[in-house]
Amino acid sequence: VDRRLESVLKEIDAEHARPRYVGRIEAASPATGSAARHRREQEKLVDDALTF
């Protein structure tokens, strides 16, 4: 899968030559415990994932 992703990134002249991780930072719990903070993190995650 990595080679295919790298090939596509090269074809579209992407800023990054390799796939990059998009997600929450490592933490002891799977969620923040705050609905407002979770919503902000989720919006950022989706934005980062869909932006080249």
Tell me how many domains the chain contains. 1
Q: What is the mean pLDDT of residues 22-28?
A: 86
Q: In the predicted model, is pLDDT for residue 41 greater than 80?
A: yes
Q: What is the mean pLDDT of residues 4-14?
A: 89
Q: In the predicted model, is pLDDT for residue 42 greater than 70?
A: yes
Q: Note if the pTM is more than 0.85.
A: no
Full domain range(s) for residue 7 = 2-50
Q: Is 8 left (phi over 0), alpha (psi -120 to 50) or beta?
A: alpha
Mean pLDDT value across the chain: 87
Cα–Cα distance measured from residue 24 to residue 11, given in angstroms and rounded to the nearest whole number:
28
Cα–Cα distance measured from residue 35 to residue 21, given in angstroms and rounded to the nearest whole number:
23
Cα–Cα distance measured from residue 9 to residue 16, given in angstroms and rounded to the nearest whole number:
7
